[in-house]
Every structure is written in structure tokens, then in C-alpha cells.
Amino acid sequence: MTDLSNKRIITVATTGAWPTKENTPNVPIEPHEIAEEVYNCWKEGAAVAHIHCRNDEGKAAMVFEKFEETVRLIRGCKDCDIILNITTSGGVNLREEDRLRPFYELKPEMCSYDCGTMNWQHNAVFENNPQFLEKLGAMAQEAGVKPEIEVFDPGMIYNAQYYIKKGVLKPPCHFQFCMGVPGGIGATTKNLVFMKGIMDECAPGSTWSAFGVGKGAMEILYATVAMGGHIRVGMEDNVLYSKGRLADSNMQFVARAKRIIEEFTCEAAAPSEARKILGLEAWQG
């Protein structure tokens, strides 16, 4: 197998559940906007697209038809072999069956697996109860979809260890360290090293990625590349490109991430290389 140790996967999270056109006119909301942004991010160097969709009012939702249209439009882009990762959260207080349907029926290569319940941004409960997590893990295995284990604090890594031992999660696993979200762990290098150490203890052999929200975004980006991890960027997590300056597009974030990777004498992984790193099947087109 080709040595992929100096490859870094760029995931782009274009939309998320929270930023609106009022926050930034540049966030893609409609399926055709998301698909176009994903395609252009792929051309800039993104290997994975983390997909959220909105309802007709532009609010956080898990409307199956919106995901179906978005996936169809992305897959209709000529030669675009980007890996699709469909969310299973979509926001807070959403019905579990709505959260599960898009990935299970559309069968992307990956789906998110938020490994615990948390107080979200100090104003809501983001619920991922044990029964839901066991059902999600079983359905992902049945559908042949690889979970991306999103962890917002160290306890969620220990939750993942429990589900690995129980067979709900199948190693080798892939973790996403979500840092700087109010209610979760702060976005600092010290915390990143701590989180990775726990992952290495609980789930040896796993791959991992990270992102920081807000003022810690750049620190986590640089530290992750230096530590051998993969990175996630995009307007789901940050609408500001720099202090006081809105990002023009998600492509702007991807282009910067690729430059930073290359400055560190590494390379952005192509989707085919990302599939090998993540243990996914080769792209069939």
C-alpha cells in the first residue's frame, strides 16, 4: 500500500444547522447551493463533504427530500468523487426516525455519530441517548455506512470505547474532535493533545480529525496538521474567515487549509487516498 502518512484529509462542512443568511449571505442553504459549493470545494482539495440540509424556511431540519435532492445533485456533478458524510443530528429536538432516515436510505459512505448527550450552547439539550446510539450503530453496520464518531468532550470518547466493546461500533474507527462549542471542551492545543491521548487509549488504531469553533479555529487547524490528524473546515463551524471578516465561501476555507497542509510539507488527500486512509471501498462512480 502506498505510504499515506503525509496525507491530510480535508472535510468541508458547508452548511450545518445554525448559520443563516442573516448571519452571512454566503452560507449555502438550498440543495442546489449546497451541491454547487461541495463541487467547488472538491475542486479546491476537499475529500469529504459533511452534509446538513435545511427546511423551506432555512431552519435546522432533517427533511429527507432535501437530502435526497442534495445527494443527487452532487453525484450528478461530472467526475466528482468526493466522499459524502450525512449528518444524523441536523439540530436539536428532532425526531429520531427523521435523523436516521437520510443516511440509511441514501447510503452515503459515512454518517455522523454524536457519541453522547450534551448541553448545547448553554440553551438546549442535544440528546443522543444510549438507545438511539445503539440503534444508529446497528443501522450503520446494516447499511454499510462508516460512522464518524463526533466527540465534544473526553467522556464521549469513553462512550465510544463502550460501544466498540459492545459491537455497536466496529473498528477501525474514525473520530471527529469538535472543539470550542459552548457546552463542550475548549479549542486549545492542550485539550487536543489530551483528547487524542484518550482516543489512543480507548480506540487504538483509529483515525481522527478535528476542528475548532471561534477564536480557537486556527490554533486547532495548525495543531491538528502538526499532530498527524485530518481537518474539518467550513461555515457549519465558522462564518468568519478572520476577525471581523466574513468568509466569501466555503472554498476559501478549503483553499487555506490546503495551503497550510502544504506549508507543513504534507499534501491534501485526494478522495481516493482518503478512502484508503478511512478504510472505505474504492469509488465506483
Residues 46 and 253: their CA atoms lie apart, in Å, by 10
Instruction: Give residue-wise pLDDT tens across range 42-61.
Output: 999 999 999 999 999 999 99
Instruction: Give residue-wise pLDDT tens across range 82-92.
Output: 999 999 998 88
Give 155-216 as a DSSP string.
HHHHHHHHHHHHTSS-SSPEEEEEES-TTS----HHHHHHHHHHHHHHSTT-EEEEEE-GGG
* For residues 97-123, average pLDDT: 97
Fold of 7-278: TIM Barrel (3.20.20)
Q: Model pTM?
A: 0.97
Q: What per-residue confidence (pLDDT) applies to 162?
A: 98
Report the percentage of the chain scoring pLDDT > 70: 99
* For residues 136-162, average pLDDT: 98
* For residues 223-237, average pLDDT: 98
pLDDT over 80 (residue 285): no
Name the residue among 233, 211, 213 with its Cα closest to residue 49. Answer: 233
Residues 232 and 274: their CA atoms lie apart, in Å, by 13
What Cα–Cα distance (Å) separates residue 186 from each residue in 74, 176, 191, 194, 212? Answer: 34, 14, 7, 11, 8
Q: What per-residue confidence (pLDDT) applies to 188?
A: 98
Name the residue among 63, 41, 40, 39 with its Cα closest to residue 52. Answer: 63
Instruction: Give residue-wise pLDDT tens across range 240-269.
Output: 999 999 999 999 999 999 999 999 999 999
- With cell 442546489, the residue in question is 32
* For residues 128-153, average pLDDT: 98
Q: What per-residue confidence (pLDDT) applies to 215?
A: 95
Q: What per-residue confidence (pLDDT) applies to 1?
A: 47
Do residues 163 and 155 make contact, with C-beta atoms less than 8 angstroms apart?
no
In a 10 Å sphere around its CB, with 0-12 CB exposed, 13-18 middle and 19+ buried, how is residue 30 labelled? middle
- With cell 480529525, the residue in question is 209
- Tell me the average pLDDT of the chain: 97
